[in-house]
A and B are shown apart, each in its own frame.
Chain A
């Protein structure tokens, strides 16, 4: 059955049974089951990678469906890890799946990654990207990087056979307000599909040794012009000597912030009227919001900080829980006396809990 199933790869010159067997023996961890993770998982699973791990703590949102094409309308509100594994099992029953319904953190990263041959960075935020880089350097594992900005994408393979790392390209993590993510900036549905498929291709080359791996090169894709460019870069030896993780990977790490689960927040909000600051875009806010919330988009927050009553706790809300953390990081310096609390998982979690 397997010989028939993988026939077109088995008869492919320069691939064949040896490479196919390497895929069957391989274990790949995909961090993030969103725009990039979905195409990566779909193809690695179809092509016969033996073991797939999936890390994600998010639930499927309606606004995911235009690009995260494995999820159906009926999946909205359900766990991405569970839903993805269900769909992938139907696609290929022979694959051994391991789901991690958590975010990757500095406390679990080394333990989770240690069991895999290769990591795919399919995340949507800088803290996790830097954490994956550092954990892979510590554990001496290669990882395939992909990232998006609007119509553009970046792809590379880091820490491969003593090659350069993510920090050789971008040594320091951007601060909270520097670079927007897809939730704020928007993304054309097909673009993560293209970038994720390139990541899957690089993963296959790393696992089998077939072809030239995109190590020491950053592939840039611009969907508007259908242009590809490659930038060469080299290893900075100090970035590959790391033996431990950083103490913290949060944005603006000096001051930890308080956070509340969606369920606890809803209980509190029933009892008394809370001060809720919704930092999403106007379009998102107009698409549905909590009745008693004050709308201050993230990019206007610093200029409108005086609208926040610093005598009462302020609960920060966004779509998935990333911008609300950025908002708190931004305001902690400006109004250090205020009690700023992050609503964990944002509207996506609230909708599920409601």
Chain B
């Protein structure tokens, strides 16, 4: 499972693509993915609004994830 990272999410993880293939128990929903990311990178815990896209579509917490899904984490950005 691959996760594309944008904005502050990229800065927290330190790269634009994060692979979860070392995890035997991949997250099965968007909510589980968020919890997984917070466990790996506690700084995700302080982001109050975090948009997740699955296969180029905004996904709420209850959306299920499967192998091969294209996932993106898109935090809000404020610069101008």
Contacting residues of chain B (35-80) with chain A, CB-CB under 8 angstroms:
46-49, 51, 53, 56-58, 72, 74-80
Q: What is the bound-complex CA distance between A150 and B10, given in angstroms?
A: 11
| Contacting residues, chain A, for B11 (C-beta < 8 A) | 150
Q: Are B76 and A34 neighbours in the complex by a CB distance under 8 Å? A: no
| Contacting residues, chain A, for B16 (C-beta < 8 A) | 222, 225
| Contacting residues, chain B, for A177 (C-beta < 8 A) | 46
A53 on interface, CB distance cutoff 8 Å: no
| Contacting residues, chain B, for A129 (C-beta < 8 A) | 78
Q: Are A32 and B80 neighbours in the complex by a CB distance under 8 Å? A: yes
Q: Are B56 and A174 neighbours in the complex by a CB distance under 8 Å? A: no
A229-B56, A231-B56 known; A149-B49 Cβ under 8 A: no
Q: What is the bound-complex CA distance between A149 and B79, given in angstroms?
A: 6
Contact with B along A145-173 (1 / 0, CB 8 A): 01111101110000000000000011111
Q: What is the bound-complex CA distance between A150 and B51, given in angstroms?
A: 18
Q: What is the bound-complex CA distance between A177 and B8, given in angstroms?
A: 12
Q: Are B80 and A179 neighbours in the complex by a CB distance under 8 Å? A: no
Q: What is the bound-complex CA distance between A154 and B80, given in angstroms?
A: 10
A172-B48, A231-B72 known; A124-B8 Cβ under 8 A: no
A232's partner among B4, B56, B74, B76 (CB-CB below 8 A) is B56
Instruction: Give chain B nearest CB distance to A184 CB in angstroms.
Output: 9
B8's partner among A126, A147, A148, A180 (CB-CB below 8 A) is A180
| Contacting residues, chain B, for A126 (C-beta < 8 A) | 76, 78
| Contacting residues, chain B, for A182 (C-beta < 8 A) | 79-80
Instruction: Give chain B nearest CB distance to A144 CB in angstroms.
Output: 12
Instruction: Tell me how many residue pairs across A and B have CB atoms closer than 8 Å.
Output: 107
A333 on interface, CB distance cutoff 8 Å: no
Q: What is the bound-complex CA distance between A53 and B10, given in angstroms?
A: 36
Q: Are A229 and B72 neighbours in the complex by a CB distance under 8 Å? A: yes
Q: Which of B53, B58, B77, B80 has the most CB of A within 10 A?
A: B80
Kindly report which residue of chain A lies nearest to residue B57, judged by CB atoms.
A232
Q: What is the bound-complex CA distance between A229 and B73, given in angstroms?
A: 13
Q: Are B77 and A149 neighbours in the complex by a CB distance under 8 Å? A: yes
Q: Are A231 and B74 neighbours in the complex by a CB distance under 8 Å? A: yes
Q: Are A147 and B78 neighbours in the complex by a CB distance under 8 Å? A: yes
Instruction: Give chain B nearest CB distance to A161 CB in angstroms.
Output: 19
A233's partner among B8, B57, B76 (CB-CB below 8 A) is B57
A178 on interface, CB distance cutoff 8 Å: yes
Q: What is the bound-complex CA distance between A125 and B76, given in angstroms?
A: 11
| Contacting residues, chain B, for A149 (C-beta < 8 A) | 6-8, 77-79
Q: Which of B47, B53, B77 has the most CB of A within 10 A?
A: B77
A170's partner among B46, B53, B76 (CB-CB below 8 A) is B76
Contacting residues of chain A (193-232) with chain B, CB-CB under 8 angstroms:
218, 220, 222, 225, 229-232
Instruction: Give chain A nearest CB distance to B17 CB in angstroms.
Output: 11
Instruction: Give chain B nearest CB distance to A297 CB in angstroms.
Output: 16
> Which residues of B are at the interface with A, using a C-beta cutoff of 8 A?
4, 6-8, 10-11, 16, 46-49, 51, 53, 56-58, 72, 74-80
4 other A-B residue contacts (CB within 8 Å) besides A169-B51, A233-B58: A175-B48, A182-B79, A231-B72, A232-B58
